[in-house]
Homo-oligomer: A and B are copies of this chain.
């Protein structure tokens, strides 16, 4: 068995710098899009010289790809809420809660993903065709089983998933619009709770679990 090497100053610093770059990149890509974002701006936001970015990530596209992958992995993890469920109502509820919380905590990431897909997924098409396709098929199968067992109203599983994705991500992707319609102020804690309750309430009743 290999002894665990101690964490060197280098490794720690590397991780930290990488995080700073990724965090700045997520923000800048979300706010300007891939084309509108500049390496210089990401450098400024992360407080590093531009050349340093290219030391950590060879190209703008490589950096972007990493940002997209990160948010995708977070979403995959949220699905565990769905899998661990003992009932349809509980599973759907937990999944919506998890996705809504990600929308609140990581709105930039959500926007980057949305932007990427809207532009035809030039960078992560392979993810859509493999991981996402499998994931969707698996969850759709679970929903179909629930329906077959008479535990919920018969609805098209894919369209139900689309509705959950659309609605939960809307609070991140269109957060600016929602904020404008909320007198220019971000949703308060109570308003986020109301949003979650509204979404869960309508969807659960909509699939016969009210």
A181 touching B158 by the CB < 8 A rule? Answer: yes
Query: Given contacts A34-B36, A129-B180, A205-B205, is CB(A174)–CB(B120) below 8 Å?
Result: no
Expressed in whole angstroms, the Cα–Cα distance for A162 and B199 within the complex equals 10
Query: Is A65 interfacial (CB 8 A cutoff)?
Result: no
Query: Is A119 interfacial (CB 8 A cutoff)?
Result: yes
Q: Which residues A126-170 have CB closer than 8 A to chain B?
A: 128-129, 132-133, 136, 153, 155-156, 158-160, 162-163, 165-167, 169-170
B178 touching A120 by the CB < 8 A rule? Answer: no
Within 8 Å CB of A177, what residues of B? Answer: 117, 121, 128, 132
A158 nearest CB across to chain B (Å): 7
A40 nearest CB across to chain B (Å): 14
Query: Is A114 interfacial (CB 8 A cutoff)?
Result: yes
Interface flags for A31-69 (1: CB within 8 Å of B; 0: not) read 111111100000000000000000000000000000000
Closest residue on chain B to residue A194 by CB atoms = B156
Interface of A toward B, CB cutoff 8 Å:
30-37, 111, 114-115, 117-121, 125, 128-129, 132-133, 136, 153, 155-156, 158-160, 162-163, 165-167, 169-171, 173-174, 176-178, 180-181, 194-195, 198-199, 201-208, 210
